[in-house]
Structure 1
Amino acid sequence: MNNIKNVIEKLQVHSTQNQLPGNPINNEKPLEATEINQLLGHASILALSDEAEDKILAYEIITRIIEVRSGDDSKLLSSAEVIMSRLGNFPGRQLLRERFNFSGKKIPNFLKLECLSREIENSVFIDEESIQLTDFQYNFYSSLQEEKALSISAPTSAGKSFVLGLNLIKKLREKDSQCIVYIVPTRALIAEVSNRIRDSLRQYKLDDIVIRTAPLSISKERSQNGVVYVLTQERLMNYLNDAADEMPVITSLIVDEAHEIQKGKRGILLQSAIDYLLKKYPSTEILFASPLIKNPGYFFNIFNISDNGKFFTETISPVSQNIILASDVRGKTKEISFHLLSDGKKLSLGNRAVDFKFRGSKSIQKANLACEISKNGESVIIFANGPSDAESVAKEISETIKDYVPSLDIKLFIDFLKKEIHPEYPLIECLESGVGFHYGKMPSIVRSGIETLFKNDEIKFICCTSTLLQGVNLPAKHIIIENPRSGDSPMSRSDFLNLSGRAGRLLKEFHGNIWCIRPSTWDNNSYEGDKLQEISSAISTVMTDGGSLIQDLLSENIGSGKNIDEAEMAFSKLYQDYHYSENHSSIEAYRTDENSENLDKTISAISQMIVDLPSEIIEKNKGIRPDHLQRVYNFLLTTEHLEEYLLISPYTAGAKRKMENVIDVFIDCFEWELSQSYKNLISFLAYSWIWGKPLGELIGERVKFVRGRQPNKKPSTIIRDYLDVLDHDIRFKMVKYFSAYNDVLRLFLTHKGIDPEDIELEPYHIYLEFGSCEKKALNIMAMGLSRFSALHLSNVSDAIPEALDIDEYFNKIKVMDVRNLQMPSLCKQEILRMQGKSVRLAVANS
């Protein structure tokens, strides 16, 4: 047994050495023919095992042999075909066939029958189409048919999304009036997921299914054929708050990237939103999907799902990863020491001499390494610890590349950036050298455009932040990481596993590579440890010590920023758990011997806070302290000029003044600390944004204004900062505040005997999130198109005649001829994508 282990390690080393940059310092030993035969026999046996570890090793052996032998042996390819079939890894088998043009004719008949049998075992049928699934996918698909509640954990590249698409088809075909809500963790994912669902529905002639990406209502009559909402947790809360009796009952909930429940304020909001949904619709079928967690059944506990539930964890992936450690060599600046991490063991890959200095600027080092490892045209993701870092590394890589010739698609995309964002937007210069960057606060159409260029191999390098951890589908052959962070903290093991799972593209590679630079200097050795991580909810983490963070909040002994946001969200949830439940069991669940005394202090503080507002108001606005909501009501009760605080149409004279009056209420009641200059900034931006002013115009004005006062400030910094204000303060914080304000105002008017419907309270929270108060643009964005495309369509004369509702707009857009419309090609491409025509920019422009 030790002998075979040694041979396997030799195979791992040899196959990885072939992918290292530079020149080897020492001789590297290739595998001998007898060793390869020994490995083939061992892999063939392991592939028949029921143990996950054996199956993973069988895949590792056969794919590595293929890579070192370049598939030049029909016997080897036949063995690989059989092993892949035994493993149920049909994507890997398809890659094998396509890469080596292999037909399998020389496989003995009895083995062909075995392969065919495995195909049949793992096949599902939609109409007359036979679809082969991996073992995990088949188990997942079968469980979705059988279970009312399901929680699954699987590697990033396991093919969860494909199965979810098949299940949606089945649900919507078999039952009328299905209302399915698909929760995604960030706005960055809404377009990707909604487009994927729309493509699946279109493939199976289900074009009449309504898809919504905004929390706008739909009648039960219109949703009879089925409706799918793709929403963030914030948008889900808005939907649930506005849900009227005539709206459809939510029948299914899909929580993608469910492990995000462990992360800060948004994790607490996610938990609160799901709680609220299950309270309103207790019969809802629910799925939790997470990457590689040890305790997928945990979700059933925190949501009190006790009946008809199933959970399981899958550790086998159809694509595997090499964790490569790259370290300095003392006294040799142009030499790198490489190790392969395998089952916790560091296997030496030797030292390599490279053409660049592995010292100095980290951005330059990452840029040089990225260029070295991609010499065969392979795709590279460079992980960055923030937007500024992403832009910096992208710039360094672009300056390293000398012979890149931009395609027509790149030129058209650059033209869009110059006209619609800003002529000095740093992405322009990077794209001219075939490099992109990607982070959450970029405009959605720009982000998705970069993703498309990368997937189409128009660009080979992309520098990304932690948006990759939140489900963005952007795999690559290589990922480069150095001392990674998630937000302000060192990256956790679970986040590292999620990120590293993006290395290796399904149907394109058998293995992906994660290059860990100088791992000994990392703040957290997240590259090593268990493959499965246990999670707990963010609220549970806050309550580990009994709730000191909440006590600090209530005693005003807490700073500003991230901590206070998380504390307020936690306090709001605990307040409701204490005051609106028949018993305090959910709070008592946090009690331990160690925190018992402190928990009593937290409970005492919460019990003494009495709010007179109805529970519905508190439940609707879980992200705001209940006592702060009470302050808003008290303010309205005492003000002598109520009319100055009634929001009116942004197009009406005096609207901006009244909006600013309400912002003053937020400053006082919500303890929103704003300087006068910053208040002026956000009120101007907010009002211009809801008026539908183009983003490029807003950015241009901002760059000009700041440069007038700080001539040396880089436009990249000005643009990035402005987009951050727009994303966090306008489209998150003010959306939350205006939504709560309207709820409290509506209650106050009712108490005064005034029907709120007679006043027509303007939904500024909707206007601010989507960036328009014009009905046509809002309806277009509710279908899933970007603000850019919606505004251009709204402004093109007769492009879309006036329609009554969202679905009529969609029906008109489905048959629209975009070729002669005067709008950017990127917007045309987005519309064509919605029509089911995935074309390149150059085609969209023709």
Structure 2
Amino acid sequence: MRFFEELSNEALNDEYFLELLVKLETISAQNFFKIPVANITSKELTDSLRFADILSRSENPDAKNKSYKIVSLLSESHQKDETFLTFAKPILIRLGNFPALSYLEDSLGIDVKSPREVVFEKIIKETFHAIPNSSYTFTDSQYEIYESLKKNNHFSFSGPTSIGKSFIIKAFIHHLIRESNGNDNIALLVPTRALINQAENQIKSEFSQYTQYKVLAHPIIPKALKRESNKFIFIFTPERLISYLSTADNPKIDYLFIDEAHKIVSESDTRSPLYYHAILQAERKSVKLYFASPNIPNPDIFLRLFEKSAEESLCVKSSPVSQNRYFLDLVEKRGVLLSDSESEINLSLEFDSNDLNHWIKKLSSGEKSIIYCNSKSDTIELALQFADTLPAKNIKEVNEVITLIEQHLHKKYYLVDCLKKGVAFHFGNLPQRIRERIEWLFESKKIDYLFCTSTLLEGVNLPAKNIFILSNAIGLTKFTDIDFWNLCGRAGRLTKELSGNIICTRAFNKKNRWDKPETDLNVVKQKKIKKLEPQIISGKGNFYKNLESALNGKEFTKKKPSANQVSIWKHYANIALIHEVRGDDSVLRSSLINSSNTGQATLKAKTASIVMPQKILESCSGIKPEYQNEIYKNARASTSILPEEITYETALAALRSLSNFYRWPDEESSGKSPLYTSADVLKYYAVLISGWANTKPLHLMIQTALDHYETKGEIWITNETIPFDKNNKKHLNVVINNLISDIDNFIRFKIRSYFENYNLLINSSLGDTAEVPNWAEYLEYGTTDYRVIELQNYGIPRHLALYLIENHESSMNFGDSNQAPFEKKKVLELMDKESDEFRELSELELYY
């Protein structure tokens, strides 16, 4: 093997090889951009494949990737060539890329006889790499990760997005269930609520064969499912995991899988402290931890963060999908190929048009394309502009989704206009049932174009042949190398094609739109990703000084820190206090104590006056302990703020009380989308709460909001107040998007968390004498009706639960909580077989 390593190293640096690689990439680029194509000679074809053959024998990931790159480039133009076919099959077998091999053999009809030793190698790998109870075979890298997971009680791995991290984790869960005879409870941690349903549906489908396992997404287990014979696979956000762990009689979780693990240590994501806190809570309960992250070279960092052996980790750098990188500059009219040889090749493009829509259509060529636009407003506007250039389509499945949107949002919602042309936009706050249907339309190729925000970075699995990246930022922050390559991992679909195209497109001369290509493109050119250096471990940027400042209420070391930075420092400071209260020798607490002479004294002073229960502190780490402590001590004087009935008046009174208790004008008034902007905003939230908690359908809440703006006579759009026009489609859509975003971000998340904390404090302080309605639960589930809440705990979405109660209540029985409320089969027999509700219920796995 040493001979082949030396030979492959020579090949990687061989001038002739690099010349051939550039030529093949250039020909591929010319085909892609539809300009006159150069040709390679038969000698160049053979030589290229010989280089690929040598490189495929190496253990060097760069050599393997370049070997595969040559095969993928040649497959576009030489897929029927005998020389290509003779080399391609052995190379793919040697690389262990069986999905690519199957694609060539099945989709392109390749049937080539191979040398006996290649056949034996294929048989051996297919035998050992076969996935139990599946027709699929692991790639070499997937198999290496899978075997490593099996050998370790804790593990962390990283690899390209296209490697199929979720696929490997699901295969490992199958192994765990078989090995334990179905006696372990398992949880998967996802970044946001927007991802819960996609993961839940996939897990339910994947593990339906194990009848003892119930897949749940809420931290409350229905009594009918709390049988000793039942086991669970939970899909949780960090908040839901913390809530589940705080209930003492819940079944123990044995394994926790954390996808997108890099979010735990993000320096700009305000949810990173919550991630850290949730996982540490699980670790303290002896849950086995498994981390999966994209691309980072030091996946051991997560194990170190939670004080596990750093040796139980693996970084995979070889990719099962090849990617072609381009920079398309419509401002300066130029096209650049960013070669894997680390050179830049200017393409002789004819700019008959510098219109973005023209180029998206031209380069997509009937293949699926994702267009990343960064902001929600850009995403919607650019999708509309693109759709306007296309002819109308009439596709049954698309029309059904259009009808759904018209009925449950509004007939004039912009998504309707887009879908009529085979285009969609996608962002996290879209209502769940609509977002899921859009994803299905794109996956099943009913629509070919999807304009999106950074939701795809959070784990939504929607690969496509092409990804156009119109902005080099998330929000106002430029891409980190992890962000960029995680997003680009969606370009190219394993088992569907051998390669994908990344087109960084400068369509406008605006900030963060590739406006400084000489520096902005560095993240595209350099495939090497820097090691993660979490602030918790490194203490960089005066991290621990700022935590101590947050505890003492003093000024931070940075003169003008961002609202996100301040939020992160304050939250970590709260978590450090929690660790001090319970005597945890965590990395966070120890480092804070060791960072200064006053760290220990600060923690002791701050915890000395805390009288509230430790359990509540742990459940509500994002809220200052001192505010919680005051509410706990004065509980008897404030119990009346949450009456049984939720009306506009009672909601407004409760919000005013919470704003005062938790100092919203100080704590919640900064950042891009602050909760508190003025006292008047509480009136708006009161309207939303009274509608949402009383199970008002979304389309009626939208109509109420439109009526409000018509009465008010003005609306805030693009940083100015303008007269409101109910017939103006733009005004209408701004209202709709603001409403669905505010329900998701403020009502169901931020405000709900304050109600939950208040409820816990009052009930704990007053004990049996407390009779405080659980408004937090009402906001989470969107109802005060216990029946609708129970149905949601069984996995039935809110809108479907409302429909069933309204139309089939007589077929249900909520009298005995130890029994399931209805029989799915009987209710389906009563439903309209053509209705959307019938389809949804029939597809749900309800376990009874």
TM-score by length of 1: 0.87
Equivalence for 1:801: 812
Q: Does 1:535 align with 2:532?
A: yes
Where in structure 2 are the equivalents of 1:517-596 lying within 5 Å?
A: 517-518=505-506, 519=514, 521=516, 524=520, 525-537=522-534, 544-547=541-544, 549-550=546-547, 553=550, 554-555=553-554, 562-581=564-583, 586-589=588-591
Structure 2: which amino acid aligns with 1:213?
A
Q: Is residue 124–residue 131 contact of structure 1 (8 Å, CA) maintained in 2?
A: yes
Per-residue CA deviation, residues 367-393 of structure 1 (Å, 9 max, x unaligned), is 332112122x11111101111111011
Distance 1:509 1:809, change over 3 A: farther
Q: Does 1:616 align with 2:615?
A: yes
State the 1:787 CA deviation.
2.2
Q: Does 1:385 align with 2:337?
A: no
Per-residue CA deviation, residues 60-110 of structure 1 (Å, 9 max, x unaligned), is 1111111122x1224422421221111110110111112211233x33444
2:292 aligned counterpart, secondary structure? strand
1:382 aligned counterpart, secondary structure? strand
Distance 1:805 1:211, change over 3 A: farther
Distance 1:232 1:643, change over 3 A: closer
Per-residue CA deviation, residues 567-599 of structure 1 (Å, 9 max, x unaligned), is 33122112223443266863443689xxx5xx5
Q: Does 1:244 align with 2:252?
A: no
Q: Is residue 371–residue 470 contact of structure 2 (8 Å, CA) maintained in 1?
A: no
Distance 1:480 1:782, change over 3 A: same
1:29 aligned counterpart, secondary structure? coil
Equivalence for 2:24: 11
Q: Does 1:484 align with 2:489?
A: no
State the 1:778 CA deviation.
2.1
Q: Does 1:672 align with 2:670?
A: no
Q: Is residue 215–residue 235 contact of structure 2 (8 Å, CA) maintained in 1?
A: yes
Where in structure 2 are the equivalents of 1:100-139 lying within 5 Å?
A: 100-104=108-112, 106-126=113-133, 131-139=136-144
Structure 2: which amino acid aligns with 1:421?
L
State the 1:816 CA deviation.
5.2
Distance 1:409 1:585, change over 3 A: closer
Q: Is residue 814–residue 835 contact of structure 1 (8 Å, CA) maintained in 2?
A: no
Distance 1:507 1:632, change over 3 A: same
The separation in 2 between residues aligned to 1:814 and 1:57, in whole angstroms, is 54
Equivalence for 1:503: 491
Where in structure 2 are the equivalents of 1:746-765 lying within 5 Å?
A: 746-750=763-767, 754-756=768-770, 759=771, 761-765=772-776
Per-residue CA deviation, residues 518-563 of structure 1 (Å, 9 max, x unaligned), is 4462574432334333224465688631445446652378889544
1:113 aligned counterpart, secondary structure? helix
Where in structure 2 are the equivalents of 1:629-708 lying within 5 Å?
A: 629-637=628-636, 639=637, 642-645=638-641, 647-649=642-644, 652=645, 657-673=649-665, 674=676, 675-708=678-711
Q: Is residue 296–residue 532 contact of structure 2 (8 Å, CA) maintained in 1?
A: yes
The separation in 2 between residues aligned to 1:92 and 1:270, in whole angstroms, is 36
Distance 1:38 1:370, change over 3 A: same
Q: Is residue 86–residue 118 contact of structure 1 (8 Å, CA) maintained in 2?
A: no
User: Which one of 756, 759, 777 corresponds to residue 739 of structure 1?
Assistant: 756
Q: Is residue 156–residue 312 contact of structure 2 (8 Å, CA) maintained in 1?
A: yes
Q: Is residue 268–residue 537 contact of structure 1 (8 Å, CA) maintained in 2?
A: no
Distance 1:340 1:526, change over 3 A: closer
The separation in 2 between residues aligned to 1:823 and 1:701, in whole angstroms, is 30
Structure 1: which amino acid aligns with 2:53?
S
Structure 1: which amino acid aligns with 2:842?
L
2:312 aligned counterpart, secondary structure? strand
Distance 1:680 1:503, change over 3 A: same
Percent of residue pairs bearing the same amino acid type: 27
The separation in 2 between residues aligned to 1:779 and 1:516, in whole angstroms, is 47
Distance 1:254 1:786, change over 3 A: same
Distance 1:705 1:130, change over 3 A: closer
The separation in 1 between residues aligned to 2:842 and 2:774, in whole angstroms, is 30
Q: Is residue 548–residue 573 contact of structure 2 (8 Å, CA) maintained in 1?
A: no
Q: Is residue 265–residue 570 contact of structure 1 (8 Å, CA) maintained in 2?
A: no
Structure 2: which amino acid aligns with 1:162?
F
Equivalence for 1:362: none
Per-residue CA deviation, residues 705-754 of structure 1 (Å, 9 max, x unaligned), is 2134122461111111112211111011112111111111122103xxx4
1:107 aligned counterpart, secondary structure? coil
2:161 aligned counterpart, secondary structure? coil
Q: Does 1:228 align with 2:237?
A: no
Give the gaps of 5 or more residues in structure 2.
1-13, 507-513, 666-675, 715-723
The separation in 2 between residues aligned to 1:808 and 1:271, in whole angstroms, is 37
The separation in 1 between residues aligned to 2:89 and 2:810, in whole angstroms, is 53
State the 1:603 CA deviation.
5.9
Structure 1: which amino acid aligns with 2:66?
L
Structure 1: which amino acid aligns with 2:759?
N
Structure 1: which amino acid aligns with 2:792?
M
Q: Does 1:45 align with 2:51?
A: no
2:525 aligned counterpart, secondary structure? coil
Equivalence for 1:831: 841
The separation in 1 between residues aligned to 2:477 and 2:844, in whole angstroms, is 38
The separation in 1 between residues aligned to 2:437 and 2:679, in whole angstroms, is 37
Distance 1:342 1:633, change over 3 A: same
User: Which one of 356, 359, 362 corresponds to residue 372 of structure 1?
Assistant: 362
Distance 1:748 1:588, change over 3 A: closer
Structure 1: which amino acid aligns with 2:799?
F
Q: Does 1:344 align with 2:342?
A: yes
State the 1:167 CA deviation.
2.1
* Range with greater deviation from structure 2 (385-394 or 73-82): 73-82
2:374 aligned counterpart, secondary structure? coil
Distance 1:602 1:460, change over 3 A: farther
Q: Is residue 14–residue 68 contact of structure 1 (8 Å, CA) maintained in 2?
A: no
The separation in 1 between residues aligned to 2:265 and 2:219, in whole angstroms, is 24
The separation in 1 between residues aligned to 2:703 and 2:440, in whole angstroms, is 26
1:692 aligned counterpart, secondary structure? coil
Distance 1:583 1:86, change over 3 A: closer
Equivalence for 1:188: 194
1:526 aligned counterpart, secondary structure? helix
Q: Is residue 321–residue 503 contact of structure 1 (8 Å, CA) maintained in 2?
A: yes
The separation in 2 between residues aligned to 1:819 and 1:171, in whole angstroms, is 40
2:588 aligned counterpart, secondary structure? helix
The number of equivalent residue pairs is: 789
State the 1:664 CA deviation.
2.3
User: Which one of 67, 71, 94 corresponds to residue 62 of structure 1?
Assistant: 71
The separation in 1 between residues aligned to 2:810 and 2:97, in whole angstroms, is 48
Q: Does 1:780 align with 2:797?
A: no
The separation in 2 between residues aligned to 1:112 and 1:799, in whole angstroms, is 64
Equivalence for 1:625: 624
Structure 1: which amino acid aligns with 2:30?
Q
Structure 1: which amino acid aligns with 2:400?
L
The separation in 2 between residues aligned to 1:579 and 1:248, in whole angstroms, is 26
Structure 1: which amino acid aligns with 2:440?
T
The separation in 2 between residues aligned to 1:165 and 1:189, in whole angstroms, is 16
Q: Is residue 277–residue 575 contact of structure 2 (8 Å, CA) maintained in 1?
A: yes
**Aligned Cα root-mean-square deviation (Å):** 2.8
Per-residue CA deviation, residues 381-414 of structure 1 (Å, 9 max, x unaligned), is 1101111111011001101113x41301111111
Q: Is residue 792–residue 823 contact of structure 1 (8 Å, CA) maintained in 2?
A: no
Distance 1:820 1:373, change over 3 A: same
State the 1:187 CA deviation.
1.0
User: Which one of 385, 399, 421 corresponds to residue 411 of structure 1?
Assistant: 399
Equivalence for 1:314: 316
Equivalence for 1:295: 298
Give the gaps of 5 or more residues in structure 1.
359-364, 837-846
Per-residue CA deviation, residues 409-461 of structure 1 (Å, 9 max, x unaligned), is 11111111111011111101111111100011111111111110011111111
Equivalence for 1:842: none
User: Which one of 177, 189, 208 corresponds to residue 212 of structure 2?
Assistant: 208
State the 1:835 CA deviation.
4.5
State the 1:805 CA deviation.
7.7
1:611 aligned counterpart, secondary structure? coil
User: Which one of 383, 402, 407 corresponds to residue 394 of structure 1?
Assistant: 383
Equivalence for 1:430: 418
The separation in 2 between residues aligned to 1:688 and 1:429, in whole angstroms, is 28
Structure 1: which amino acid aligns with 2:804?
L
